[in-house]
Amino acid sequence: MNDRVVEYRNAMDMVTTNQELIPVDAAHNLLKTTHWAAGLSRETLARAMLNSLCFGVLRECDLIGFARVITDRATYAYLTDVVIAAEHRGQGVGRWLVECILDHPDLQNLRRVTLLTRDGAELYANLGFTAGSGDLIYMERRGASGRNEAG
């Protein structure tokens, strides 16, 4: 996507949407440590990043956090691939990353921002996410590549 660059800074880190500062290899290395994207190929991630609004957390020049948002920028956004390097977890970096994502100008006034989580429900609940979708039923259709790669 050809996105305008948005950056947020705190004392030590910067969250950026500048994909030139978010190396695919570094993002891939972070995602390989997760249960949901351990089998994701670098090529698939590169393609996904091109078609997503990406957020990187940089400490100096090192990528220590990553997330993607799949969105139409008008009604809906799906937050995915949120990951913080193991040595930086538990320090508020993930919460700050998600706060920055939710503050992004292109993600305001959407009808719905969704995500799936197995182990981060408390973090997301503290940021205003709620479980379930009422009477709606979550459904999916998996393609052949969806059986072999998480994501």
For the segment 92-121, what is each residue's pLDDT rounded down to a tens digit?
999 999 999 999 999 999 999 999 888 888
Residue 151 pLDDT = 47
- What is the per-residue DSSP string for 4-57? PP-EEE-SSEEEE--GGGS-HHHHHHHHTTSTTTTT--HHHHHHHHHTSEEEEE
CATH topology assigned to domain 7-148: Aminopeptidase (3.40.630)
Residue 141 pLDDT = 83
Whether the per-residue pLDDT at 145 is higher than 70: the answer is: no
Q: What are the tens digits of pLDDT across the range 28-74? A: 999 999 999 999 999 999 999 999 999 999 999 999 999 999 999 99
Mean pLDDT of 127-137: 78
Q: Which residue has the higher pLDDT, 7 or 117?
A: 7
Return the bridge partners of 20, or none. Answer: none
Burial per residue of 108-141, b for 16 or more beta-carbon CB atoms within 10 angstroms, e otherwise = eeeeebebeeeeeeeebeeeebeeeeeeeeeeee
pTM score over 0.85: yes
Q: Tell me what the pLDDT averaged over the chain comes to.
A: 91
Beta strands 13-16; 7-9: pairing state:
antiparallel
Q: Which residue has the higher pLDDT, 66 or 139?
A: 66
